[in-house]
Structure 1
Amino acid sequence: MTVIQERFIVVSNGETVGRITATSDGPVIDVDYAVDNNGRGAKLRERIRLDGQGIPLDWSIDGTSLMGGSVHEVLSTENGKTQWTSQADQGCVEADSPRLYVANDTSPYASGIYMRAVLASGRSLEVLPSGRLRAEHLRQVDLDGATVDAYVLSGVKLLPEFVLLGGEHRLIACLGGDLMISEIAVREGYEHHYATLVALGSALTTEHLARVQQRVRHRFDVPVRIRDVRVFDPFTKRLTERMSVTFFRGKITGVGHAAHPGQIEIDGQGGTVLAGLHDMHAHNSAWTGLFYLAAGVTTTRDMGNDNDMLLELLPRFDSGELAGPTVVPSGMIEGRSPFSVRLGIIPDTLDEALDAVRWYADRGYHQIKIYNSMNPDWVKPLTTEAHRLGLRAVGHVPAFATPDRMIEDGYDEITHINQLILGWLLEPDEDTRTPLRLTAMARAKDLDLSGPRVQHTVELMRQHDVGLDTTTVILERLMCGRAGQVHASEAAYLDHMPIGYQRYRKRTFVPAKSAEDLAAYDDSFPKLLHTMAMLHAEGIPLWPGTDDGTGFTVHRELELYVAVGMDPADVLRIATYDCAEHLGRADVSGSIERGKRADFVLVDGDPTQNINDIRKVRMVVKGGDVHFPAEIYRELDIEPFELPPPVTIPGADS
């Protein structure tokens, strides 16, 4: 029997970051998959045995996941019984014929297997462990005279995936399917179509999401009055008595006003209205917009992205063509190394780096963000040029540098709590371009926050008015997630999510050889909370960010702020008005006042007393556009959390 080898290239931002080799010998396929992007990426070896219908009977997957966590997943079929074990779960079913299993950790090559199975079954197929895959044909695409078919495959991940198939349903490319960073896997020989494929993926995504927006956006050409609500005042940090809020198109036109003829009336049923939330560490995509609005986040600070994509996306968010927050962009500048993240601009010389600062300034960016592989000697001239042009300068602590040096060289803010703490844990020759920037956090349990090394940094932050973009929630997820378990950070929402995403979250992300290794992470995470408490007590500004795009993690980040001892009302002020002020937008947003933008949220309950009530989002208004999260979540195959409030339209039938 002929041995067939297929090769695929994984590309991000135009650069090769990984490879897939699939070798077929009859019904058995061996897959080697490795990605290295930003010093991280899955590395897997798979063996798959197919039946005559292309359904995997046996499937073994071994290696490491995104951040180096161990992977050992096994599917086996024998005598009508199918069994599986993965990081997330294990199970066994009996059936007359094999059922398609959706792997928990696998390579993009699996999408081709799924697509062939779904198409053979009529474009919809129940799968193991549960759920249903659906495939929809979108269009035909010409690539150098070869016609390939574009499909959307849903039910595997949190997001649908666009898949290109050639003759005999051979996999040609997988386009996207990630909330934040778009990596595509493309068959060798087609990689020169990268720009075309990225544009195709963008077009398919935009078309799909524009249709969704038409269904979930509510625009009214008459004033809208939300009655029977209590309004959060960030200046007193209290709720008002029950009153009303009126808006017309994009502006708040009344707070506490009586009803007037011709208004649309929304019954707030005693809930709380507060200004829209902020995510101060986002990596926006067309998909994240729906998630953010559903979570009550109306403004994000983008902390590095594909520049062309972002500049095309923002007008679509602003116009309402696509659902999404107001985005304040940061310009990523990364150094050149084998570990470089493929985002923003990667200059090869200092002059090119200075030109990058000017490029961002010319396009109205709020700040520059410096990343891991940057030459530390370039930081001072880059921050000086940024400040000269009116931009702020923030970032990671580049490898082999320290937070102290970055503060002295002009940083206005440090990005990620681990980037700060690593400066107190690492030796000078340790390389944070690798996953060490996460794994070294296991040492934090022994850190003395009252020690001179820590306190010197804190004093520098105070002297230079340097804040911290915390993203503690993502460190909690990475350090404390465990295979087969639902961590407390995910418990409030995970059972509402698609089954594939639920399984993905039930995993150990960190590499560990023993229970003692895992215990070190568990014992170290509280030190991050102690650090936040210490910085807050010292007057260091803390900014809630997530490095995620689901919106749910914004809620968890705010809960962690309360967990370190901050009052819920203080946290709400930070998440609304203080963030708006920090971004230079307090004159238009951040509080419920006449004349400001109609960017606000209606939640059930009183989050000034119970911060968890911030999750109970019933309605979101962004620039006057009304969205009901329940409608958005149904479009995303997520079980809604809260019902929309009653709406009365004058003249409409009751």
Structure 2
Amino acid sequence: MLILAALLASAAPVPVASHERLSVIANGEKVGSVDAVRDHDHVAIHYDVKNNGRGPTMDETIELGADGLPQRWTLDGKATFGGDVHERLVRDGGTARWTDAMGARTAPARGTALYIGQSASPWALGLYARALLKAPGATLPALPGGRLRLDPLGPATIGGVDYRAFAISGIDLSPDLILLDKDDALFAVLDTGGATVREGHEGEVPALAALATRLTAQRYAALQQRFAHRIDAPVRIRNVRVFDPVTGTRGDPVSVVFADGRITGIQPPDAVASPGEASIDGAGGTLMPGLHDMHAHVSLESALLYLAAGVTSVRDMGNDNAFLPDLVRRIAAGEVAGPRITANGFLEGRSPYSARLGIVADSEAAALDAVRWYAARGYGQVKIYNSMNPAWVPAITREAHRLGMTVTGHIPAFTNADAMIAAGYDEVTHVNQLMLGWVLDPKEDTRTPLRLTAMKRTATLDLATPRVQRTIDRMAAAHIAHDPTAVTLELLMGGRDGAANPAVADYIGHLPIGLQRRRRQAIAPIAGPADAAAYDGAMAKVKQVLKLLHDRGIRLLPGTDDQTGLSVHRELQIYAEAGIPVPEVLRLATLAPEQYMGHDQQLGSIARGKLADFILLPGDPTRDLRELHRIAMVVKDGTLYFPSDIYPAFGVTPFAAAPKLTLPKAMPKAAGAGPAHDAMDEF
């Protein structure tokens, strides 16, 4: 350890004065900045982002040691949704002491451990990279836990200048992609939907986004080759009980056979196998249809995570309009792994708070043109967002309906769900968007974080009041569906500094250390015990609303607005905690979305002739929905994936072992199935 510290110190560049400015770009627009002033070993950073009406504002001060690592680091400001941040690090000799949202901690540092700022700006990624470049094997222990690794991704020429691309792994589920210049200074942090880039180079963002897409696609194409098992033979899953979403029951043990991507038989358990079949031991577990997330925003990273969590179909509720069709094509071609995607057309109005996704319209005519653009490209639904002018919505819905599309969305600012249902909405998304109309003054602006913080007012709301019943009556009469994304509200309102967020409490120990820290941090601003109690009361009220909607026959569409896949499981648990019977919850997660989307002839249940699209669980999810975490195998269109293989690539500890798979003798190597298999090879 001490030798490494000496090497780092001797290799560290001479401290200099510098002023680095970075621009944060999303969907072609500047939404924030990083301003870092370095005076020898002292660095002062101001970081501010405001996108979609929210974002962090942070001031950082770093004192660097001779080894280039932070000796002292303070972070003060506001987190994304306005919560206070006061983070501290002091490294003294061989000891590191820090205070973050999880409380005060002390650990041996010995000059080599690299502290990861919980609320740090993107500038910190350059700091981490420079330390890792000098470390043996380009890896260092991290504080508060785990290890960081720097992987070179090759040269990249942007605007005629040569840079070097790297991936930093160990902080979160997916690596951070960065570009360093010839002096090892941070030039850009890459993202498929934008970039954080050195000021003056904002015009290079399209090239940077394209580079991010290429590098990320290469990573996930390689992972697809490792993890996708395509077997060129019938596959028989023996000794398994099939969950039927219509009856809500698990049947007696059977054998399920599939070939060429379709289910070819559900046979008695003792049925004789035909020659040349592969065999999987179901071990008495449950085979159930693949899960469906009805509120996704899919990326290359999340696509594979969805499959690991048993989510084989999603509805994408807003994305980059160039990226998403390409991702759909890549998944369909088998280049990368991911769920089948039904795309929604994201439609936002122009305002200082606009979300930078889809199409942002600054007039009613532009909004109608956007509807036509989406219809011509096969989108089945338009999603309206916060900054849309409510006066334009009737024309938007009429045009969408005329072109055979339906309409969903947020409730735009300065209106309520009743008005949007009257204007032609077919569906309302997010339960807070529905509930805020019962507690807000019409003049209050929900384009801001108020659309979260005002939920505190619902804690004491009487659901029997006329204004609540009037909305629910209208939804029931007009058959308005609802996509609650309750898990995201729980995540936002349930976070408390130092405690595991209830949205991930069941599995937080399986997550990488960076994500664990975030999930032990308050997200909503909490001024004191009264605020905490109000948010807890609001979440309890959300569950009461879900039960009320379900009892009134209003169609619930389980969605998450998250990208981990695992959050689907918690969304379903929340429905059960609300009082909806578990078998009914499982129907809502499998067959019901396919019926709503018109895909139930191919998906949503396990039957002969349907697509081979299901998950294998060791236990019985009809008794305990936590069993959904323990997925042993996922089959999508006949291709096998084992979550125990996939999760380690994301720093996630697997939940269940893969089943025993036996291939037929003398079977040739299957395309995309990794190394050639010997006869009777077992996974």
TM alignment of 1:122-201, pairs within 5 A: 122=136, 123-176=138-191, 182-201=193-212
Q: What's the CA shift string for 1:65-91, capped at 9, x where partnerless?
A: 111111110001235432100012432
Shift of 1:95: 4.4
Shift of 1:653: 4.0
Shift of 1:517: 1.6
Separation in 2, partners of 1:240, 1:319: 35
Distance 1:24 1:320, change over 3 A: same
Shift of 1:212: 0.6
Shift of 1:263: 0.8
Q: Which residue of 2 aligns with 1:534?
A: 548
Aligned partner of residue 220 in structure 1, secondary structure: coil
Read off the aligned partner of 1:86 and give its amino acid letter. D
TM alignment of 1:284-363, pairs within 5 A: 284-363=298-377
Contact 1:282 1:545 in 2 (8 A): yes
Read off the aligned partner of 1:630 and give its amino acid letter. S
Q: Between Structure 1 and Structure 2, how many residues are aligned?
A: 650
TM alignment of 1:2-41, pairs within 5 A: 3-41=17-55
TM alignment of 1:243-642, pairs within 5 A: 243-256=254-267, 258=271, 259-642=273-656
Q: Which residue of 1 aligns with 2:241?
A: 230
Q: Which residue of 1 aligns with 2:674?
A: none
Contact 1:493 1:552 in 2 (8 A): no
Read off the aligned partner of 2:432 and give its amino acid letter. N
Provide the TM-score with structure 1 as the length reference: 0.98
Q: What's the CA shift string for 1:535-554, capped at 9, x where partnerless?
A: 11111111110000101110
Aligned partner of residue 549 in structure 2, secondary structure: helix
Separation in 2, partners of 1:79, 1:278: 52
2:215 to 190, 204, 211: 204
Shift of 1:607: 1.1
Moved more, 397-406 or 257-266: 257-266
Read off the aligned partner of 2:227 and give its amino acid letter. V
Separation in 1, partners of 2:104, 2:287: 44
Contact 2:158 2:208 in 1 (8 A): no
Q: What's the CA shift string for 1:421-445, capped at 9, x where partnerless?
A: 0010100100000000000001111
Read off the aligned partner of 1:129 and give its amino acid letter. P
Contact 2:371 2:382 in 1 (8 A): yes
Shift of 1:4: 2.1
Separation in 1, partners of 2:380, 2:103: 44
Contact 2:194 2:205 in 1 (8 A): no
Separation in 1, partners of 2:141, 2:244: 50
Shift of 1:183: 4.5
Separation in 2, partners of 1:409, 1:99: 58
Separation in 2, partners of 1:25, 1:92: 28
Shift of 1:93: 2.6
Read off the aligned partner of 1:250 and give its amino acid letter. G
Provide the TM-score with structure 2 as the length reference: 0.94
Read off the aligned partner of 2:350 and give its amino acid letter. R
Separation in 2, partners of 1:333, 1:96: 53
Separation in 1, partners of 2:92, 2:506: 38
Shift of 1:157: 2.0
Contact 1:289 1:323 in 2 (8 A): yes
Aligned partner of residue 542 in structure 1, secondary structure: coil
Q: Which residue of 1 aligns with 2:72?
A: 58
Separation in 1, partners of 2:401, 2:110: 69
Read off the aligned partner of 2:359 and give its amino acid letter. I
Separation in 1, partners of 2:644, 2:603: 25
Q: What's the CA shift string for 1:129-169, capped at 9, x where partnerless?
A: 11111111111111233210001111122210111000210
Distance 1:552 1:628, change over 3 A: same
Q: What's the CA shift string for 1:354-386, capped at 9, x where partnerless?
A: 111111111111200000000001111111111
Q: What's the CA shift string for 1:18-70, capped at 9, x where partnerless?
A: 01100111101000000000001111000001012210000000111111111
Contact 2:112 2:140 in 1 (8 A): no
User: Is 2:98 the partner of 1:87?
Assistant: no
Moved more, 196-205 or 245-254: 245-254
Contact 1:57 1:98 in 2 (8 A): no
Contact 2:290 2:313 in 1 (8 A): yes
Contact 2:83 2:525 in 1 (8 A): yes
Give structure 1 stretches of 5+ with no counterpart: none
Identical amino acids, percent of aligned pairs: 47
Separation in 1, partners of 2:194, 2:493: 25
1:45 to 59, 64, 75: 59
Aligned partner of residue 162 in structure 2, secondary structure: strand
Aligned partner of residue 82 in structure 2, secondary structure: coil
Contact 1:278 1:576 in 2 (8 A): yes
Contact 2:28 2:194 in 1 (8 A): no
Moved more, 81-90 or 532-541: 81-90
